Structure 1
Amino acid sequence: MGKNLEHQFSMLVREIRKEYVGNGPKEISTRFVENWAISEMKGNLTNVEKFMINSEQGKQTVHEARTKLVKEIYKRQEVVDKFETLMGARVLRLFSDINIDEDIAMTVFVFDKPIDQKGK
């Protein structure tokens, strides 16, 4: 059941990214560690963003826009509610970053109680 819940969590991350960013990552994997859900996403950038990152200024712009946008998405109560309902735990905080050169993003969700035992 644990792997199934990680898969469900990944699918929820993808669904939300598609809804609010316009496209979801090509690959996503999530691991639960104590009260953290760590999602790694590959293949995040749009064709326009890939064009923009050909310059240093473009890289900086895409990085700032992506990290700010993701943090704003997860401030929305309707988004937080979906994760809290799935996990049966409250989201306390979120950390997110993207490596533009490798097109890999990481988001760490911090919950109010351990989630890695769920379903065991």
Structure 2
Amino acid sequence: MPNVIHEFNDMIRKLRKELFGKGPERIHTVFVENMAVSTLYGNLTPTELFLSKTQEGKDMIHAARTKMIQDVYSASPPEGMEELMGAKLVHLFSDIKVEENMAVSVFVFDKNIM
């Protein structure tokens, strides 16, 4: 199971690096029934860290990161994710706490992945 978690985290990191120019520094993922719950730390780019000094900047980063990642996953999950999990990704719930530079994503699959 640790190898599956490692591969899953690598997929998340790679996709976010491609989208935002920087992947999370650390990811912690747990599998629970039909869900993978990932906590991502150290997400923001240097530019986003600068922008996050104002409330408008925080709001912009939050909106862009949550909407963009949900749109990307709804269009198509990362290559190999469904094969790795042995299940189809049906929903992604994602949010970021800009002040703490921490995000959480809940991947919901069509059947248990454990």
Q: Is the 8 A contact 2:15 2:78 kept in 1?
A: no
- Is 1:80–1:91's contact at 8 Å kept on the other side of the alignment? no
Scaled by the length of structure 1, what TM-score is found? 0.89
Unpaired segments of 5 or more residues in structure 2?
none
Aligned letter for 2:12? V
1:28-78 Cα offsets, whole Å, 9 max, x none, are 11110000001111000011110111111111111101111111221232x
Gaps of 5+ in 1: none
Aligned residue-pair number: 114
CA contact (8 A) 2:74 2:91 kept: no
Give the aligned CA root-mean-square deviation in angstroms: 1.1
Could you state the TM-score of these two structures normalised by the residue count of structure 2? 0.94
The answer for the alignment partner of 2:110 in structure 1 is 112
Q: Which residue of 1 aligns with 2:81?
A: 83
Q: Partner amino acid for 2:56?
A: Q
Deviating beyond 3 angstroms after TM superposition, the runs of 4 or more aligned structure 1 residues are none
